[in-house]
Chains A and B, each alone.
Chain A
Amino acid sequence: GAVSSAPGGSSAMLYLSQYGYLGPVKANSSQLLDESSFRKAVEDFQSFAGLTVTGELDDQTMETMQLPRCGVKDKVGTGDNRAKR
């Protein structure tokens, strides 16, 4: 299902994309994203940030996404997209 239409979802998608948890997301277009991919991205972010891993965009997760931070991606070259090699 599409999750980007959920409240806070699109900004979270942009955040997750900007910091390497999701593939590139365009801010000016609606996109369909597999729910499990989005959930995994949220889980990865929660795990990396030391939050309780729920896969949900809960308050704690959204608050953490609003913290001032470094602009460098958290996930650099994870190899997720070249698993077949």
Chain B
Amino acid sequence: YALQGSRWKVKNLSYKISKYPPKLKRKEVDAEVQRAFNVWSGYTDLSFTPKSGQVHIEIRFETGEHGDGDPFDGPGGTLAHAYFPVFGGDAHFDASESWSINSYRGTNLFQVAAHEFGHSLGLSHSDVRSALMAPFYRGYDPAFSLDQDDVSGIQALYGKKTTKSAPSGDDDAGVGESQDVPNTVNEPESGSRDTSLCQDPTFDTIFNSADGFTYIFKGSKYWRLTEESIAPGYPKMISEGWPGLVGNIDAAFTYKNGKSYFFKGSKYWRYKGRKMDGDYPKDISEGFTGIPNDIDTAMVWSGNGKIYFFKGTKFWRFDPSQRPPVKSTYPKLISNWEGVPDSLSAAFQWTNGYTYFYKDATYYRFNDRAFSVDQTNPAFPRSTAYWWFGCQDAPSGTVGTSESRG
């Protein structure tokens, strides 16, 4: 994503439609415009209220030259334009386009409006093809949802949503977030907490599932993490939690499509929730061209939503929307990630937004904005057993600097 450089100082924004398109009902346009704003309010604390009189964002459907020196060009070509916050945030749509609602015919008003409002809020065009803020109109998408790139962009400007409404903010319209509902397994939580991870806190991989839980895989077993330690009732067998999956996994992550990917040796598996999503395993060289076998770990980096693979001293960036998905400039040295060691055990982004790297019995917290491991007290690396598994007496040699926690 790209930020233009300005943003609104307030989060409660008002708007009005001063000029409507000729062929659509006003009420329908009103609803579509509000839906388009809801795309952005679903992921931030921004709110958009229709108002008369003076407003933050004025919306007009115009033809040809319409007073701003940037004339529209008739059907096709330029569909709309909008001004960044520093220039007022107004959005203009070419009235000569065949604007449509929930239809494959014409140009979808909702999608174009949501894109333009991204400009009104301070986002520039993105070079991520799948992003809403990519400059080209891609046709009507009935299952439209914001790309992670768009979400990262808008949250870089206005922060994450702190209230707990649905991300789409538009439940009755059936558009917005359309992620598959994962096929989750009810997991009874009973019994005492397992302490085997305290004895040996190394593990194979850590990842977030689509339903928001964090899991650790080690050998043939898995554990679910809580905010402070591990959940009671674990470990369980990977083969029971993810039928068809093998043990001793190298790496795992859940992508923005809601599907989880597991890697081992030269193979990978894809799951939708707890159900294998087709005929797996497949070769890494087939589904992740450019990525080597026997990787150390993989993660989706919150900084740009792209997939990063790590092995030894090197890392690869994988972007499924690009051809080739791995640029010729890769692999690069892990030393580019300031403070992160080589030969990693695992890596992932936790629910607090930070990226964590694990090596042996310790971990590092990476600051995506500073692009370096955080300089904190106690310093990193810290003991995984103590800070992640809730172990009070971490074995000798694994505490790192956590003793200074006091």
Interface residues of A (CB under 8 A from B): 19, 47-50, 52, 64, 67-74, 76-77
The residues in B between 319 and 356 inclusive whose CB is less than 8 angstroms from any CB of A are 321-323
Which residue of chain A has its CB nearest to the CB of B3? A76
B127-A68 in contact (CB<8A) = no
A50-B78 in contact (CB<8A) = no
Nearest-neighbour CB distance to chain B for A48, whole angstroms, equals: 5
Which residue of chain A has its CB nearest to the CB of B133? A70
Partner of B80, one of A50, A67, A71, A77: A71
Most buried by A among B5, B129, B135, B322: B135
B5-A48 in contact (CB<8A) = no
Interface residues of B (CB under 8 A from A): 2, 4-5, 70, 72, 76-82, 84, 107, 112, 115-116, 119, 124-125, 127, 129, 135-137, 321-323
B76-A71 in contact (CB<8A) = no
Nearest-neighbour CB distance to chain A for B23, whole angstroms, equals: 17
Partner of A68, one of B2, B5, B79, B322: B79
Partner of B79, one of A52, A71, A73, A74: A71
B107-A74 in contact (CB<8A) = no
Most buried by B among A69, A72, A76, A77: A72
A-B contact pairs, 11 of them (CB 8 A): A49-B136, A50-B127, A50-B322, A67-B136, A67-B137, A68-B136, A70-B78, A70-B82, A70-B119, A70-B136, A76-B124
A67: B residues at CB distance < 8 A = 136-137
B322: A residues at CB distance < 8 A = 50
B115: A residues at CB distance < 8 A = 70
A48 to B128, CA, bound (A): 8
A64 to B125, CA, bound (A): 15
Nearest-neighbour CB distance to chain B for A15, whole angstroms, equals: 10
B82: A residues at CB distance < 8 A = 70, 72
A69: B residues at CB distance < 8 A = 77-79, 135-137
Given A47-B127, A50-B129, A76-B124, is A68 in contact with B77 using a C-beta cutoff of 8 Å? Answer: yes
Count: A-B pairs, CB below 8 Å: 65
Partner of B78, one of A64, A71, A74: A71
Can you add 14 more A-B contacts, CB < 8 Å, to A67-B136, A69-B135, A72-B135? A47-B127, A49-B127, A50-B129, A68-B136, A69-B78, A69-B136, A70-B78, A70-B82, A70-B115, A70-B116, A70-B125, A71-B78, A72-B119, A76-B5
A70 to B133, CA, bound (A): 9
Partner of B76, one of A48, A68, A70: A68
B323-A68 in contact (CB<8A) = no
A71-B137 in contact (CB<8A) = no
Which residue of chain A has its CB nearest to the CB of B75? A68
Nearest-neighbour CB distance to chain B for A36, whole angstroms, equals: 22
Partner of A71, one of B4, B81, B124, B323: B81
B4: A residues at CB distance < 8 A = 76-77
A67 to B79, CA, bound (A): 10
Nearest-neighbour CB distance to chain A for B138, whole angstroms, equals: 9
B127-A71 in contact (CB<8A) = no
A74 to B93, CA, bound (A): 18
Partner of B321, one of A47, A48, A50, A71: A50
B79: A residues at CB distance < 8 A = 68-71
A56 to B84, CA, bound (A): 32
A19 to B107, CA, bound (A): 21
A68: B residues at CB distance < 8 A = 76-79, 107, 136-137
